[in-house]
Amino acid sequence: VGLLLVAPFWLGMSWLPEASLRLVLPDYLFVGQEAFYLRVYLAVLPLLPIVFMALTFFPAIGKA
C-alpha cells in the first residue's frame, strides 16, 4: 500500500529532478551535479524500507 502511494511522486521526481528541486527550493540556483545526486538518492530510496525491516526483524528473531 505504501509503495502505491509513493510511486507516482518517486517516478515524477526521477524523471524531472530539476523541476522537483525548483519546486522545493525556488530561489536556489542548481547545477547539473545536484540533479544527479538527487537521481542517485531516488535510485536507492526503494531499498531503504528493506534495510530498516532487516534491522528490526533479525534482532527480533535472535539471528542478528
How many other β-carbons are positioned within 10 Å of the β-carbon of residue 45? 13
Predicted confidence (pLDDT) at residue 43 exceeds the cutoff of 80:
yes
pLDDT at residue 18, rounded to an integer: 86
pLDDT at residue 64, rounded to an integer: 73
pLDDT tens digits for range 1-28: 677 888 888 898 889 888 888 898 899 8
Predicted confidence (pLDDT) at residue 57 exceeds the cutoff of 80:
yes
Cell 524523471 sits on residue: 15
Helix-helix angle 32-44:17-24, to 10 degrees: 100
Predicted confidence (pLDDT) at residue 48 exceeds the cutoff of 80:
yes
CA distances from 27 to 8, 14, 23, 30 (A): 25, 21, 9, 9
Residue 60 confidence class, pLDDT cut points 50, 70, 90: very high
